[in-house]
Structures are given as structure tokens and as C-alpha cells.
Amino acid sequence: MYNGPVIVSACLLGLRTRYDGSDACNTEAITLLEGRQAIPVCPEQLGGLPTPRPAAQIAQGDGIEVLAGAARVIDEFGQDVTVQFMKGAMDVLQIARLTGANEAFLKEKSPSCGVGSICRNSHCVNGIGVTAALLKREGLIIRGF
């Protein structure tokens, strides 16, 4: 079992970093982190977006397509925030490399952090978020909560 540092969606630790200014505190994730170094991150904040911020979704695809340049991240007002999502994902990857983390606990249903599901048009669909896709592509173990 890996016992090194773990990248963690900050909202899972009770930090109010979600788009609406709330948290998504997850006791299962917190329990699994006992005795380990948690590195809290919010890719959307790292990308320069404020909290609170307009809700966003990946239009036509998921994080894999965003990384390939074939899909965009659009907020609820129609603004393209792909650049901010990409910057945040790259910053999280850099933090993982700097800290030696090779595992990430990420918030499901998020356009950044979703591991198995993302939300689109108020529905959850199978897919992966931008940050989750990048971390997975770069060899990190990702787990959704």
C-alpha cells in the first residue's frame, strides 16, 4: 500500500472551495488519509477562478477531449473557461510532482476532478474531469469520492 503524500480535492477536506462556496466534506476520504500527508488543492482556484464562481461543465465530451483540444469547458453564462481549467490541472500536476504524490483523492461529478462521472445539463454522465484525466494520463492513481 502506498503511504506517501496524496493530492486531495480541498472540498473533500471541508474547505469551502466548491463553485458555490460550499464544501463536500467526505468522512471516508478523511479516514483513509489518517497517518498520511494530504495535499489539498482546488484546480479551479489554481486556474484563477474565484469562489464562488459560475457553475461550469464540459461541453461535448469529457476531460480527455479537453486535454486533446477537442472539447471546451463552458460556464453557466456561456463563458469559455477552458484555459483556467487547463492551467489548474497543470498546476495540480506540478504540485504532485513537487511533493512526490502519486495518488489523488478527487471529488466526483466535478468538471475538474470527476473520476468516473461529471455533470452536464444538470445530469450526471459517465466521464472524467480535466484534472483527473491529466493526473491519470501522467500515471497517478486516482480515486473518486
Query: Where in the chain are the domains?
Result: 6-144
With both helix axes pointing from N to C terminus, report the angle between 130-137 and 82-99 in degrees, rounded to the nearest 10.
Answer: 40
Band (121; pLDDT cuts 50, 70, 90): confident
Cα–Cα dist 78/72, whole Å: 11
Query: What's the whole-model pTM score?
Result: 0.96
Mean pLDDT of 47-66: 98
Q: What's the pLDDT at 32?
A: 97
DSSP code at position 109 = B
In degrees and rounded to multiples of 5, residue 95 shows phi and psi of -60, -45
Instruction: Tell me the three state secondary structure of residue 120.
Output: strand
Cα–Cα dist 51/82, whole Å: 17
Q: What percent of the chain has pLDDT over 70?
A: 99
Cα–Cα dist 31/106, whole Å: 14
> Is residue 59 scored above 70 in pLDDT?
yes
Could you report the per-residue pLDDT of 61-115, keeping only the tens digit for each? 999 999 999 999 999 999 999 999 999 999 999 999 999 999 999 999 999 999 9
